Structure 1
Amino acid sequence: MNFDTIVLAIAAVLFVSALIALTVWAFKAFFGGSGTGSGFLRARERRLALVETATVDSRRKLMLIRRDDVEHLIMTGGPVDVLIETGIKAHAHLEPPLEDVIIARNDTRPAPDFGKS
């Protein structure tokens, strides 16, 4: 075997490996592989989300969980998990404005002079 044949074989193996990786990535992106929930065939809106977490101490954690438009506050990590509050109204999602937004232009004001009494 000469040097050119070895270089060509290595280049061919790298090219085929790149094609396989690209095919796997495209399949996951379009068909929602690995449970991501976002994909070409999964166009429905997600109903369950972890909104926020806060650490209480080294073991316990507060979690705010949203299901549909209702939030629930849960504490986990202690001897038992506790539902602290339920039925919290979720914040409304921001919607685009109905009309064009016009920003008023104001004249510049002079800076205050604090040196004078």
Structure 2
Amino acid sequence: MEINTLILGVATLLFAVALIALLVWAFKTFFGKSGGSTRRAPEKRLTVVETAEVDSKRTLYLLRRDDVEHLVMIGGPVDVVVETGIRWRPQPQPQPLGPPHDDVIIAKTETPGRPEYPKS
């Protein structure tokens, strides 16, 4: 058996394996995720609400898990839970302003002139 035939056989085998892998990837990409499956991604339960640097090593994190917030200080020699069990209530949406009442009168006032100071 010649070396050229052996190299050609190995190259053909590698090409066939790469082609099969490409076909499997394409099938999973186009038909695997949406092919009749209505599964949604789970909702994120943990979020970082706010951070504040205390100094160069320590940072305060306000974390929200479900409807409860936790204040945690990370960094320095130890990590500390500062406060836990803070109940989270969403802020109420501001109501749009309506038209002013009929009895509201906006009076125009004159601005006073510049005061004159005695010259010394």
Name the TM-score, length of structure 1 as normaliser.
0.50
1:103 maps onto 2:98 in alignment = yes
1:81 aligned onto 2:79: yes
Instruction: Pick the aligned partner of 1:113 from 100, 107, 110.
Output: 110
Structure 2 counterpart of 1:55, one-letter code: E
Instruction: Output the CA distance in 2 between the equivalents of 1:50 and 1:109.
Output: 46
Q: Percent identity?
A: 44
1:61 aligns with 2:59: yes
Distance verdict in 2 for CA 1:109–1:48, change over 3 Å: same
Distance 1:72 1:110, change over 3 A: same
**TM-score (norm: length of structure 2):** 0.49
Residue-pair matches, total: 75
Distance 2:97 2:67 in 1: 31
SS of alignment partner, residue 83 of structure 2: strand
CA radius of gyration, larger in: 2
Q: What is the CA deviation profile of residues 29-76 of structure 1, one whole-angstrom value per residue up to 9, with x for unaligned ones?
A: xx7xxxxxxxx831x432111000000001100000000111000000
Q: 2:43 corresponds to which letter in structure 1?
A: E
Q: Quick one: distance in 2 between partners of 1:69 and 1:82?
A: 21
CA RMSD of aligned residues (A): 3.2
Residue correspondence of structure 1 range 1-117 to structure 2 within 5 A: 41-42=40-41, 44-92=42-90, 94=92, 103-105=98-100, 109-115=106-112
| 1: CA distance, partners of 2:63 / 2:110 | 51
Which amino acid is 2:40 matched to? L
Instruction: Determine helix, strand or coil for the equivalent of 1:64.
Output: strand
Distance change (3 Å), C-alpha of 1:109 and 1:84? same
